[in-house]
Amino acid sequence: MSDLETLSWGHGFFDRFPLDESRAPGSRQVSGAFGSLVDPTPVARPSLVGWSQSFSKHFGLSRPDDASVGLRVLAGNQVLPGMKPLAACYGGHQFGHWAGQLGDGRAISLGEAPDLKGNLWEFQLKGAGPTPYSRRADGRAVLRSSIREFICSEAMFHLGVPTTRALSVVSTGEPVVRDMFYDGHPKEEPGAIVCRVSPSFLRFGNFQIFAARGETQLLRTLVDETMNRFFPELSTESPAREAEWFRIICERTAVLMGEWMRVGFVHGVMNTDNMSILGLTIDYGPYGWLDDYDPSWTPNTTDLPGRRYCYGRQPAIGLWNLTRLAEALLTLVPEQKDLFEESLASFQGVFQKVFLRSQAQKLGLKELDLERDEFLIVELDRLLTESQADMTLFYRELATGFSIETAERSALPDFLPEVFYAGLTADLTAAWTRWFQVYADRLRSEGQSPENRLEMMNAVNPLYVPRNYLVQEAIESAEVGDFSKVEELLAVLESPYVFRENRESYAKKRPDWARSKPGCSTLSCSS
């Protein structure tokens, strides 16, 4: 086992670009550069709050103790030879409007290092102090948000959803002032730093900023380097290589949207600066998980008036964001406009295919057809919403608690009222009975064995997800110095599809007290 010190650190990708090396203090507009060299700001008393064993083993890293070099690095108190700390410059559309330069205001990339298989990963500290992109903010992050990012990014990986990873969360021993609901009540909170890791943290916004500024040469280099390094499947011979690449980005984004819908994840801030060019879930902020199924639900209080980023709109917003990316890339290759438009036009179809396949599996069916199975799909959506069904528990119970014979007796499965947050009215009872009959007919027509169906369903319907209130409980313990619940929760989330004894408390409906409690139902961007 080794320490971060023994990894072989480099910064090859960034060296392909002009960088802002001025190290001038303060926030500013940075042009003509991929990003700015900036050192993390040391913190007073770092202490390890969470460590991802499952991720660290890819590098053979052992858990750092409080006196180790590893911990100093994770806290931003030491930079290792070979690292070249950098904050990237990017722009973005926020809530539908071009916001100009944003950039890594509190994330600092330390460098890249190979895992034991030789794959390169970029290591980033989030909350490690100000950068030229911090604008009026402090470059820091609070413990609650850092734990949320740490737990959820690891949980997503184990759910099989494309995501950036997290290695550690470290408390800084320094307070950070936040006005959690922007209502004039700022308060001191414990500060923390997440070390997150990904093949790349490139966002749509990295490309947009160069296009917006007319920095064509930089955009050209970024596009070429990104295609060469991260998309080896692209042929170097292709006459319209950028369009081919864009088609892959569209596909990956469609897959990602389908995966979020499958597990009930709501990102909450799908601004174009929070969209990964690799199709990964990135920037865990005021995200949330559906407890009671509701396509219009958004966890982000800032998003409440318009619900732009609610669960049900995520695929459409994915397409909107891709359209903005296309506009940026087309400044470079205007002659490929038709091909880019073809990819955008086929996004809906690609997403639908992904959605139908995953929805079929969620129901234990070999296939779903949009026309033939319209009732099954659309009515289920309505019934889950109106019954306020717990999305996670509904699908798990459906796998074990439903049989064709129940439907033949015109009875409802016993589990049904148990997984609802709303009462079962007479209308809903009649509608569910009808739905289960149609469902039973479809199962019968496929002639699958109950065992096969169970296996198929439990492979895509998780039992344990990072429910908002579970994460909040781990946060509240950590805020009073007990860090044990963070890794306990993580351990459960590392096998989300497999039932385990003694884990009942992690697979329960949201308790009443959590229904409208801040952190459990609503969050703000203040983190």
The string over 386-408, giving b where at least 16 C-beta atoms fall within 10 Å of a residue's C-beta and e elsewhere, is bbebbbbbbbbbbbeebeeeebe
- Which of the listed partners (ligand AMP, Mg ion, none) does 279 bind, with a CB threshold of 5 to 8 Å by partner kind? none
The structure tokens listed for 69 are: 């070099």
| Residues numbered 46-75 forming contacts with ligand AMP, rule: CB under 6 A | none
Query: Which one of 20, 104, 273, 303 is the catalytic residue?
Result: 273
- Which of the listed partners (ligand AMP, Mg ion, none) does 104 bind, with a CB threshold of 5 to 8 Å by partner kind? ligand AMP
The structure tokens listed for 62 are: 């052992």
Q: Within 13 Å, how many C-alpha atoms sit on residue 94's CB side?
A: 10
Our finding on whether 104 is near ligand AMP (CB under 6 A) is yes
Task: Name the one residue in this structure whose structure tokens are 């413990």.
Answer: 143
Our finding on whether 242 is near ligand AMP (CB under 6 A) is no
Burial class (CB in 10 A: 0-12, 13-18, 19+), 437: middle
- Which of the listed partners (ligand AMP, Mg ion, none) does 137 bind, with a CB threshold of 5 to 8 Å by partner kind? ligand AMP
What distance in Å separates the CA atoms of residue 82 and residue 305, rounded to the nearest whole number? Answer: 47
Of 59-67, 275-283, 458-466, 501-509, which part binds Mg ion (CB under 5 A)? 275-283
Our finding on whether 288 is near ligand AMP (CB under 6 A) is no
**Contact call for residues 299 and 288 (beta carbons, < 8 A):** yes
For the beta carbon of residue 119, count every other beta carbon within 10 angstroms. 10
Our finding on whether 191 is near ligand AMP (CB under 6 A) is no
> To the nearest whole angstrom, how small is the minimum distance from the Cβ of residue 239 to Mg ion?
35
For the beta carbon of residue 228, count every other beta carbon within 10 angstroms. 12
In 3D, which of 469, 473, 491 has the Cα closest to residue 482? 473
Name which of 70 and 279 has its Cβ closer to ligand AMP.
Answer: 279
The correct pick among 20, 244, 259, 283 for binding Mg ion (CB under 5 A) is: 283
Name which of 140 and 442 has its Cβ closer to ligand AMP.
Answer: 140
**Residue number of the CB atom closest to ligand AMP:** 105
Our finding on whether 299 is near ligand AMP (CB under 6 A) is no
Name which of 208 and 274 has its Cβ closer to Mg ion.
Answer: 274
Name which of 145 and 343 has its Cβ closer to ligand AMP.
Answer: 145
- Which of the listed partners (ligand AMP, Mg ion, none) does 133 bind, with a CB threshold of 5 to 8 Å by partner kind? ligand AMP
Task: Name the one residue in this structure whose structure tokens are 């344990």.
Answer: 464
Extended beta strands in 156-298, E state: 165-178, 187-198, 265-266, 288-289
Q: Within 13 Å, how many C-alpha atoms sit on residue 326's CB side?
A: 25
The correct pick among 77, 153, 171, 274 for binding Mg ion (CB under 5 A) is: 274
Number of residues that bind ligand AMP (CB under 6 A): 17
Name which of 64 and 76 has its Cβ closer to ligand AMP.
Answer: 76
> To the nearest whole angstrom, how small is the minimum distance from the Cβ of residue 285 to ligand AMP?
5
In 3D, which of 80, 65, 107, 75 has the Cα closest to residue 7? 80
For the beta carbon of residue 334, count every other beta carbon within 10 angstroms. 9
Of 267-275, 366-374, 440-448, 498-506, which part binds ligand AMP (CB under 6 A)? 267-275
What distance in Å separates the CA atoms of residue 458 and residue 297, rounded to the nearest whole number? Answer: 25
Q: Is 273 a catalytic residue?
A: yes
Of 266-274, 344-352, 410-418, 419-427, which part binds ligand AMP (CB under 6 A)? 266-274
**Residue 262 C-alpha from the chain's centroid:** 13
Residues linked to residue 196 through DSSP beta bridges, in sequence order: 124, 166
Cα distances (Å, whole numbers) of residue 290 to 198, 270, 271, 330, 469 = 26, 17, 20, 37, 11
> To the nearest whole angstrom, how small is the minimum distance from the Cβ of residue 240 to ligand AMP?
32
| Residues numbered 126-165 forming contacts with ligand AMP, rule: CB under 6 A | 133-134, 137-140
Task: Name the one residue in this structure whose structure tokens are 């950036």.
Answer: 164
Our finding on whether 274 is near ligand AMP (CB under 6 A) is yes
Of 279-287, 376-384, 460-468, 471-479, which part binds Mg ion (CB under 5 A)? 279-287
**Contact call for residues 421 and 292 (beta carbons, < 8 A):** yes
Number of residues that bind Mg ion (CB under 5 A): 2
**Residues making up the chain, counted from first to last:** 527
Name which of 102 and 474 has its Cβ closer to ligand AMP.
Answer: 102
Binding track, positions 474-513, relative to Mg ion; x by CB under 5 A? ----------------------------------------
Q: Within 13 Å, how many C-alpha atoms sit on residue 155's CB side?
A: 30
Active site residues: 273
Which residues would be at the binding site for ligand AMP (CB under 6 A)?
A: 102-106, 133-134, 137-140, 269, 273-274, 283, 285, 525
Which residues would be at the binding site for Mg ion (CB under 5 A)?
A: 274, 283
